[in-house]
Chain A
């Protein structure tokens, strides 16, 4: 780099630039918080949905699945599972029917032995998730 461009100038670009874009990021965050109520389906968050989210977390579902495209890529996307599996009944039926010892040679979801109330909560959580406005993602029902 040329001699005319000094270390002090480089330092000022670092501090000034970082601060400016940090503030811009915070401003965009503030604006996002204001826009979220129209998109994030928060009116649908009931105690049941919150319970479902907790179950989703403490069973580490994200360790195999994606949810809105984030997570592991070992098992199908679940942000639209409510639509793909045919509603709550489809979701509950699938989770319940997983064999305890897996399927020889193939990937299989573990059997979690959920109670009926827990199954209902998970299905409610996935229903709530499927109604978040995701700018039309995923591209099709296959996720």
Chain B
């Protein structure tokens, strides 16, 4: 750690990991409710648990992005953060607002929460992923603005690198697009149309810029490859992201009342959306192969390669699987969608946050560059357990989805939704068991912060052999 103020990232990363654990616990509750329908009913109905699961995901990823920015921006800009105090203050504002919102979901019936928080004045609640009370949303905007101010001032008055610039563009886009969360017309079609400007243009647009810049930063640091090379790759990747992803929004406009030409625009452009993810995989492996140093933090390099591969599989391959309009006609809103959502979010966004945490946390906890061998070995076990179980969760949901689509939509005698759900329960059970393996991986991950913390650090690096 080269600058004192980078240390604020530690708060953000710690909170991110804590909320991640909460997300997984609620995921297991949901998985069980799929097969034991009355589990925790009516205390925690499915919709409440799902809201907690998805909102915790969004919040912990945002904590991760902010922590990543606070860590890497000073190092890239070669100066201290504009205001470390503001960063700490905003951390507590965001954490308390987030915690109160989650408690509100769990303790108050949702309609009561809407009433308490004055949803009638500016109704924004009750839309998927944007369930937060309007006042929470306003709080998110305030935190985002303070955050952008802090990061922006640091970047403007320091060294300007492509990594910082791309990160800033991504984070600005994130904040600006969130404003569409406040637009909720009575017209359902228009509601849905602009809802995607938040959801799609986040995860298949500006978030990929954030992902790319964090990955580029970690690769510069761990491989020692020339910054010029890495920055050129970064530009090409994010160019492809936005060239394909913006019009790619059209793959959500097939069946919601929008004109049918979107079936063409959406199919063609979203079929190209795997390209930037594939390039990211090639990029990560290329840089590691051409490394000029062997960084002692092997776990961080593993996460960096892992996120590139899993993002391509989850977002690229599983996205393409159901993105063409004639296919999507049958798969829209089925377990296929759920399968894609799980691996894409884990591969692209959970793993990139875990990558930067893995790289940065040892230094913020007083190490020179990396954790002890024991700690790293445990962390790499957790990598494999979580990643492999996510692959199987995705495969089981895909199996469930194929059967669901066939029985409910494709066969000559379509069956009712609930009848089909019972027929495919085996796959839900397998998904739930695999979820338990994921939880074990997560426990090991958290344990890796405590195991071997008194052992000596992995030996200082040696230069990579010139042939590599």
Contacts and interface: CB of A to CB of B under 8 A. Distances in A.
B110 interface: yes
B235 A10 contact: yes
Given A63-B46, A106-B38, A134-B256, A21 B246 contact: yes
Interface residues of B, number: 77
Contacts of A57: 114, 123, 125-127, 184
A1 B256 CA distance: 42
Interface in B325-374: 329-330, 332-335, 337-338
Contacts of A134: 255-257
21 contacts: A7-B235, A10-B236, A14-B235, A14-B236, A17-B239, A18-B242, A18-B243, A21-B247, A24-B247, A28-B265, A35-B258, A60-B48, A62-B127, A64-B45, A67-B188, A105-B37, A107-B418, A132-B256, A137-B332, A138-B332, A142-B414
A74 B46 contact: yes
A135 B247 contact: no
Q: At the interface, is chain B mostly helix, strand, loop or mixed?
A: helix
A45 B259 CA distance: 19
A96 B263 CA distance: 38
A106 B128 contact: no
A58 B125 contact: yes
Contacts of A140: 409, 414
B46 A72 contact: yes
Nearest to A109: B45
B236 A107 contact: no
A133 interface: yes
B34 A74 contact: yes
Contacts of B334: 73
A143 B114 CA distance: 29
Given A58-B126, A105-B36, A75 B236 contact: no
B48 to A, nearest CB: 7
Nearest to B265: A28
A139 B414 CA distance: 10
B416 A39 contact: no
Interface string A107-120: 11010100000000
A104 B448 CA distance: 41
B175 interface: no
A60 B47 contact: yes
Given A6-B232, A18-B246, A40-B187, 5 more contacts: A28-B262, A60-B47, A63-B48, A69-B256, A74-B33
Contact of A68 (B247, B255, B329): B255
A72 B229 CA distance: 43
Contacts of B260: 135
A26 to B, nearest CB: 10
B46 A64 contact: yes
Interface in B97-134: 110-111, 114-115, 119, 123, 125-128, 131
